[in-house]
Amino acid sequence: MVAQSGKDLLIKVDMTGAGAFQTLAGLRASRLSFNAESVDVTSLDSTGGWRELLAGAGVRSAGLSGSGVFRDDASDERARQIFFDGETPAFQVIIPDFGIVEGPFLITSIEYAGAHDGEATYELAMASAGALAFTAL
């Protein structure tokens, strides 16, 4: 795999609930992280006292975050409404030359900032709120 441009990692939100995905406006940086909790089943019978983990058990989750320039586009308005309504709509994360991760996310925080001599910025943090699907590109 060749090096990829960071601007090609996109976070998209379902604008209507019908699969009409649009890139969140103004994002300059985005991040997707996957997490899996382990279930320890180590006992006195464990070989050599080594820890044993139960395969397929535990909670899996994903975190999604982004930051960028506040533009007040339709996707910004949709993100604000999702937060205030406590919705968990579908989001897509496009990972260049890898695939698309899609599923419901809850927006856990929105932060706005700005300096008197600079642009207004925002940051979003999201937590997975259900099963995620992966489609290879």
**Among residues 70, 75, 73, which one has the least CA distance to residue 15?**
75
pLDDT, average across residues 1-6: 74
| Whole-number pLDDT of residue 116 | 93
**Domain limits, the chain:** 6-136
pTM: 0.87
Residues 119/4/77/100 CA torsion (nearest 10 deg)? -170
User: Chain-centre distance of CA 1, in angstroms?
Assistant: 23
Is the torsion defined by CA of 82, 124, 6, 32 positive or negative? negative
- Give the span between the Cα atoms of 69 and 46, in whole angstroms: 53
**Residue range 11-68, pLDDT digits in tens:** 999 999 999 999 988 898 999 999 999 999 999 999 998 999 999 999 999 999 999 9
pLDDT, average across residues 94-114: 95
Q: What is the CATH number of domain 6-136?
A: 2.30.110
